[in-house]
Structure 1
Amino acid sequence: MAAIDGLPPLREVIKTHDLVAKKQLGQNFLLDLNLTAKIARAAGDLTGSDVLEVGPGPGGLTRGLLAEGARRVLAVEKDPRCLPALAEIAAAYPGRLEVVNEDALKLDAAALLTPPIRIVANLPYNVGTELLIRWLTPAVWPPFWESLTLMFQKEVAERIVAKPRTEHYGRLALLAQWRCDARIVLVLPPEAFTPAPKVHSAVVHLTRLAEPRYPADEAVLGRITAMAFNQRRKMLRSSLKAMGPDIEEKLRAAGIEPTARAEEISLEKFCALAREVAG
């Protein structure tokens, strides 16, 4: 990769710009350019697409995205210390990299991008889940992005792709799979990062669906799943009793046994229940 873009190895970049990763910013730098290129390829064909990257740090993934042919990359970096290193990448790829020194939680990135748009990021651990939920719950669906290729702690990744009757199945799985196809495409050990986190990491690729997988009112579905999984060990007739005195009747109408527990219920059945409650 260094030979392709003529830029120095990432360890040299970090040393030159004195970029010690900050725990309070959720930073863990991925320095192997072969791995960052692999993540970029996992996002699919980037030619003809704008790419939003959050938390580029010293720019390893940024270089991978540009080398893999991204039409344009918008890199949103909160840490001003990383800007000189990113500026060097921008100079090597004239007109294809824009760096914004902003908090991704406060930025309307869609206004700065031209469709088709893909989001690819080694997300800072401290904001990763919050950003994902925002991207999955826009005011209007389909959203501004076509796919998300995101690095999380492995446990969070497993929660996104989890199936019923498994340890990690819960609200995040339902939210992601209601509107997307989701799969883990890469697992990385702690030693791939600097500094090494205490856990494995994983890259999840989510492709948006044109419309939700099953019809349901988003607010009602959200309320039901919140109540069900906040008391996941209880039977649904108990955890959902605040939904109304006829909740057992509605559970049966949706094809759910009132004595079942949240972790046993499929996305399809939860959506059926949301329709019964709303209707």
Structure 2
Amino acid sequence: MSIDNLPPLKHVIDTHGLAAKKSLGQNFLLDLNLTAKIARLSGRNEDHDVLEIGPGPGGLTRGLLSEGARRVLAIEKDERCLSALAEISDAYPDRLTVISGDALDINPLDHLTSPIRVAANLPYNIGTELLVRWLTPTEWPPFWDSLTLMFQREVAQRITAEPGSKAYGRLAILSQWRTDAKIVMNLPPEAFSPPPKVSSAVVHLTALPEPRFPADAAMLQHVTATAFNQRRKMLRSSLKSLSPDIEDHLHAAGIKPTERAEQISVEGFCALARSLKNT
């Protein structure tokens, strides 16, 4: 079934020779009904610009545009996809801008008008790095109102995990510190071409007006990365490289030095980051 007057995605892929490249982390979602549903999960976008990373043959791009997004900025590294995306641009005049390049190297704010949302089936090989960048700008609120992102299901569970669980770690803390994060959709491998070896999930993150607890973003990221790099160790051991007085900082944050990283709440890590930042 089609959501517009453009060809089915399988036809687009065949016509433009767009076999997915593993080196680019590509797995294309071909069901346009699913891409339209993901677009709707991102919110009503008639008054928003939407940033999309890795549009590939344009399934989600078409979903966003057909569902009424004011404008879509699509950043695509694979030059093979540009001709297919140009056809979408022609079908939705003045509403789609395509930039060829690496999303890690491009500042999208040069091409977007607020308010802005992000919606993307992120390439597996850069998805986590992009998310961390979006969650840890020096100033908050960020440029985006919400993120609607597809990940491997394991990554989605890490974003929404609670303290004490095996999935709980740096991603959960950074996400839940500044956003409301929830899994809004699950997709099986067979929904994609080629089918990945794992299931996928869509996570919706809504930016909070203020972080839940005060902390310096860079310090919080450093503390959590260090703590969970040796998550089986007690914090007094895993964090000793951060300060010769680490036990004093842990006590100041209300944390027992014998506890392990997965036992500490977002509030606890923020308190520890504040203590270390003030030394």
Q: TM-score, normalised by structure 2?
A: 0.95
- What's the offset of the Cα at 1:11? 1.1
Deviates more, 1:80-89 or 1:245-254: 245-254
Partner amino acid for 1:130? E
- What's the offset of the Cα at 1:224? 2.1
Which residue of structure 1 aligns with residue 233 of structure 2? 234
Which residue of structure 2 aligns with residue 198 of structure 1? 197
Residues 169 and 262 in structure 2, CA contact (< 8 A), matched pair in contact too: yes
The aligned runs of 1:256-271 (5 Å cut-off) are 256-271=255-270
The aligned runs of 1:1-279 (5 Å cut-off) are 2=2, 4-279=3-278
Partner amino acid for 2:257? P
Q: Distance in 1 between matches of 2:116 and 2:123?
A: 21
What 5-or-longer segments of structure 1 have no aligned partner?
none
Q: Secondary structure at the match of 1:204?
A: strand
What 5-or-longer segments of structure 2 have no aligned partner?
none
Deviations 1:174-220 (A, max 9, x none): 11111111111111110000000000011111111122110112233
Residues 25 and 123 in structure 2, CA contact (< 8 A), matched pair in contact too: yes
Q: Distance in 2 between matches of 1:13 and 1:202?
A: 25
Partner amino acid for 2:254? G
Question: Cα–Cα, structure 1 residues 242 and 104, in superposed 2: closer, same or farther, change >3 Å?
Answer: closer
- What's the offset of the Cα at 1:151? 0.7
Deviations 1:141-186 (A, max 9, x none): 2211111111111111111111111011111111111111111111
Deviations 1:86-145 (A, max 9, x none): 111111111111111111111111110000001100011111111111111223222111
Deviations 1:236-267 (A, max 9, x none): 12222234444323323322222111100000
- What's the offset of the Cα at 1:277? 2.8
Residues 138 and 217 in structure 2, CA contact (< 8 A), matched pair in contact too: no
Q: Distance in 2 between matches of 1:94 and 1:225?
A: 45
- What's the offset of the Cα at 1:273? 1.9
Q: Distance in 2 between matches of 1:170 and 1:49?
A: 32
Partner amino acid for 1:113? L
Residues 72 and 95 in structure 2, CA contact (< 8 A), matched pair in contact too: yes
Q: Secondary structure at the match of 2:144?
A: coil
Q: Distance in 2 between matches of 1:194 and 1:51?
A: 24
Deviates more, 1:189-198 or 1:10-19: 10-19
Deviates more, 1:193-202 or 1:233-242: 233-242
Identity %: 70
Residues 137 and 217 in structure 2, CA contact (< 8 A), matched pair in contact too: no
Q: Secondary structure at the match of 1:227?
A: helix
- The aligned length equals 278
Residues 20 and 194 in structure 2, CA contact (< 8 A), matched pair in contact too: yes
Partner amino acid for 2:171? L
- What's the offset of the Cα at 1:68? 0.9
Partner amino acid for 1:143? P
Residues 159 and 173 in structure 1, CA contact (< 8 A), matched pair in contact too: yes
Partner amino acid for 1:228? A
Partner amino acid for 1:33? L
Residues 26 and 125 in structure 1, CA contact (< 8 A), matched pair in contact too: yes
Q: Secondary structure at the match of 1:168?
A: coil
Q: Distance in 2 between matches of 1:220 and 1:83?
A: 39
